[in-house]
Structure 1
Amino acid sequence: MIVCRKEAISKEQVDQWLADWEILRAEIHRSHAARDGKAKDIMQKGIDLYETFIIKASNITLESIQLSDEYEALPINGAERLQFIKRRPGQYACYRQLDELFIETKKRMARLRIKKD
């Protein structure tokens, strides 16, 4: 298992990460509601934000999450769910799934902070 780095999952780090996601989430939601075709590009930014956080939080030097590895920072089936999202980023279901990953990861980071103290 690839463990988390305690300093990378501080409340301040996680809160900033989630604030960045909230901005993107609102844009993606508006794009889907307007059906303007921009959701896919904004979703890619959200995917990159999520993946970058997981990588920075983990003790690795890779540039992307590997399905073959188990990450302490990822929720249950997180890597598989992320792969699903990456295959079809323009779909509304993938937007919902990415939003859920952010929510579940926030909760997981809180549990890990308590555990690592």
Structure 2
Amino acid sequence: MDDQMIIISSILKEWEGIQPSIEKSFRERNQIEAKKLMDKGIQLFIEFLMVANNQPYSDQFSIPYQKLEWKPVNLEERLKFIMSRPNLHHSYRQLSELVTEQKKQLAKKNIQRKTSRP
């Protein structure tokens, strides 16, 4: 397993660790906790996105959407919605879908990379 996949595996493991807590926070209508966990989830997704696209990650700069080859459909609009309303359950559902779609993009990338090798 290369370094990129080790980092991605770690990110996804952390996401899977907080996902039940996010669901519980929304179910219990604990908006303070939900927002805190959503902020962490958003950060994890962006890190996953950047690493999967071989882009440097820093939470101090904007996302170069046009430079990302492997990304979910309508990423920019969806992520802006999530980031502007992290305390909504719908934002959590969207974030969860983005993570799932990015996993699929990564799988496609890995298949394409393997089949293009001589």
- The TM-score, its normalising length taken from structure 2, stands at 0.80
Shift of 1:24: 1.4
Match of 1:3 in 2: none
Match of 1:90, SS state, is coil
Verify: 1:22 aligned to 2:16, yes or no: yes
Task: Give the distance between the partners of 2:71 and 2:29, measured in 1 at CA.
Answer: 31
The answer to whether the 8 Å contact 1:14/1:106 transfers is no
Aligned pairs for 1:93-104 within 5 A: 93-104=90-101
Aligned AA (2:34) = A
Q: Point out where structure 2 has 5 or more consecutive residues left out of the alignment.
A: none
| RMSD of aligned residue pairs (Cα, Å) | 2.0
Task: Give the distance between the partners of 2:109 and 2:29, measured in 1 at CA.
Answer: 38
Aligned pairs for 1:1-117 within 5 A: 8=4, 10=5, 12-37=6-31, 38-61=33-56, 63=58, 64-67=62-65, 69-117=66-114
Task: Give the distance between the partners of 1:93 and 1:71, measured in 2 at CA.
Answer: 25
Q: Which structure would you say has the larger RCO, counting Cα contacts within 8 Å and 6 or more residues apart?
A: 1
Compare CA radii of gyration and give the structure with the larger one. 2
Corresponding residue pairs, total: 109
Q: Point out where structure 1 has 5 or more consecutive residues left out of the alignment.
A: 1-5
Task: Give the distance between the partners of 1:56 and 1:92, measured in 2 at CA.
Answer: 27
Q: Determine what percentage of the aligned residue pairs are the same residue.
A: 36
The answer to whether the 8 Å contact 1:66/1:79 transfers is no
Tell me the alpha carbon deviations over residues 67-114 of structure 1, each in whole angstroms, 9 at most, x when there is no partner: 4x2412211111221111000000000000000001111111111100
- Most deviating of 58-67 and 86-95: 58-67
Task: Give the distance between the partners of 1:104 and 1:61, measured in 2 at CA.
Answer: 21
Tell me the alpha carbon deviations over residues 35-75 of structure 1, each in whole angstroms, 9 at most, x when there is no partner: 122101100000000111212232434633134x2412211
Task: Give the distance between the partners of 2:50 and 2:12, measured in 1 at CA.
Answer: 15
Aligned AA (1:52) = E
